[in-house]
Amino acid sequence: MEKFSFAFFSLATLVFIATVNRSEADSSVIDLGGEWSFASSNKTITGTGKSDKFTVASKRTVPGDIYTDLFNNKIIDDPLYGDNHLFTTWISSDDWSYSRRFNFDMQQLNKASAFLITEGLDTIAAVSLNGKQIAQSSNQFVSSFADITKLLQDQNTIQVDFKSPVQYAAQMASAYKTSSGHDVPPVCPPSIQHGDCHPNFLRKAQYSFSWDWGPSFPTIGISQPIRIAVVESVYFRDFTWTTQLDGNFWNVNVETLVLNQNENSEVVWIISIDELGVEMEFVRKIREGTQMTTHQMQVKGKRQVNIYLSNQRRNGIVEMTKKIGFKTVDLVQDYVDPNKVSLGRDFYFRINGVPIFLKGSNWIPISMFPLTGNYTDRLRFLLDSAAEVGMNALRVWGGGLYETEEFYNYASTKGILIWQDLMFACALYPTNKEFLDSVQTEMQQQIWRLRKHASILVYAGNNENEIAIRDHWWSVSNYSEAQEVSDYVALYADTISPIVRQSDPSRPFLLSSPSNGIQTEM
């Protein structure tokens, strides 16, 4: 870990640059966006998805789903109109596949390897290339990275096969009941919602099985960008950071996600602030494989630094820039009166030492199909509206989705703080090894992504699951309250909490929202 110290007193531009030998630097990204074909399991329904939902070049991550594609192909009526949702239940009970063909210049592999990157598949999916399975998904919130070098040809077919989320959830619930001796509540939503059962057995947006504010649309599809990275030596995928105040200095820990194809590649890292004439350079050899590299520096003062992301490569240089904001967050939970503990505790936040009164609302997904259509316009209208009426905080609700980079960036520009629920809501969850392992990966990836955003105020483990146990929302045979508490602790206190606290020590973590805060953890 390299440590750098420098001071500045005004707004500046910080640029993060990595340089390798030109002969080793070449890498390219092939967008697999465009037109995909889809089909039901028995091939009786087929069509194409032509919209920009698969397009990476637009710089917008606009997910696709089977409902939108069926509507665009005039196979179903608008699912959001009237009671049409009652006539689309067959969709999520079927298996579906998406496929496309693409050409590949095999000369690119003379000195390089190729990797398939999927940023998100919704949800139970298997990916194959030229008939060979290369990746699987069981978590909508997790990305994957697969070596496809030996499978590529001049002409290729990639296919993603999706299982019915409704059928899969029912199978998982049945198997879990057989092994544990009990159901995991709630088994099904209230009948008035016309929803589907057992969403808590899927790492998928929980609202998609219905909620008290929306119908059931258990989506299926390629929900995030999918692409191929051709890597000769070093591929820089992304970077993130945490900031912590130490006296008069900010400690900034930057982590880069790097894939190295060679046994030992020499990388020159450059951090510069042009306005101050400051440039720092250091050299590192990185080992073979996918890895994180960590760099620590100190910045004097309490001002904002800008890092701009350009993704430009020239003369062996990869330049990444993003915006960064510096703030401390303290959650105050002292006794109102230490001599009268019966009065309870405070519960408020201090930002950079200043007590903040939070004024805000809950943020649920913009739509049942939130990232289709005019997502940017709707996002900005809603955040602009929140700011205009005096809100300074929004809670990203735990039954929905981890929001987009665009959401968190725009919230930062509007001065809106984000109470970030993790995606668990109004349910208890299985605690078998397979489920907990998937949650661990989800937490590692999502907190790594989220922690760089200045808008993030606090993390909370779930929506209302703590109060559900305390107020006895459910009565389940062979599942005592003591066992409910034990499973709750296994998921949130023993699995999620250590990852969140270690990945982002700069922000508080609460087991639930709402919560008794520190009292719950005693």
Which residues are designated catalytic? 464
Classify residue 35 as exposed, middle or buried by CB count within 10 Å of its CB (0-12, 13-18, 19+). Answer: exposed
User: Residue 472 CB: number of other CB atoms within 10 A?
Assistant: 9
Question: At CB < 8 A and 24+ separation, what contacts does 52-56 make?
Answer: 53/371, 53/372, 54/222, 54/225, 54/226, 55/31, 56/29, 56/31, 56/225, 56/227
Say which residues have a Cβ less than 8 Å from residue 41's Cβ, sequence separation at least 6: 94, 95, 96, 97
- 328 DSSP assignment: -
- Classify the phi-psi angles of 146: left when phi > 0, otherwise alpha if psi is within -120 to 50, otherwise beta: beta
Report helix, strand or coil for 384: helix
How many Cα neighbours within 13 Å face the side chain of 453? 29
Q: Are 363 and 380 in contact, with CB atoms under 8 Å apart?
A: no
How many Cα neighbours within 13 Å face the side chain of 470? 9
Task: Look up residue 21 and give its two tokens.
Answer: 């030998």
Task: Look up residue 239 and give its two tokens.
Answer: 């970077």
Task: Look up residue 353 and give its two tokens.
Answer: 């030492």
C-alpha closest to that of 88 among 99, 97, 75, 98: 75
What are the Cα distances from residue 249, in Å, to 140, 243, 266, 270, 308? 39, 10, 30, 20, 22
Amino acid present at 12: A
Q: Are 53 and 68 in contact, with CB atoms under 8 Å apart?
A: yes
- Classify the phi-psi angles of 282: left when phi > 0, otherwise alpha if psi is within -120 to 50, otherwise beta: beta
Q: What is the DSSP string of 148-160?
A: -TTT--SEEEEEE
98: β partners: 38, 160
What is the distance between the alpha carbons of residues 205 and 54, in angstroms, rounded to a whole number?
Answer: 20
Report helix, strand or coil for 520: helix
Q: Which residues of 92-122 are buried (b: 16+ CB within 10 A; e: fewer)?
A: bebbbbbebeeebeeebeeebbbbbbbbbbb
C-alpha closest to that of 18 among 185, 254, 182: 254
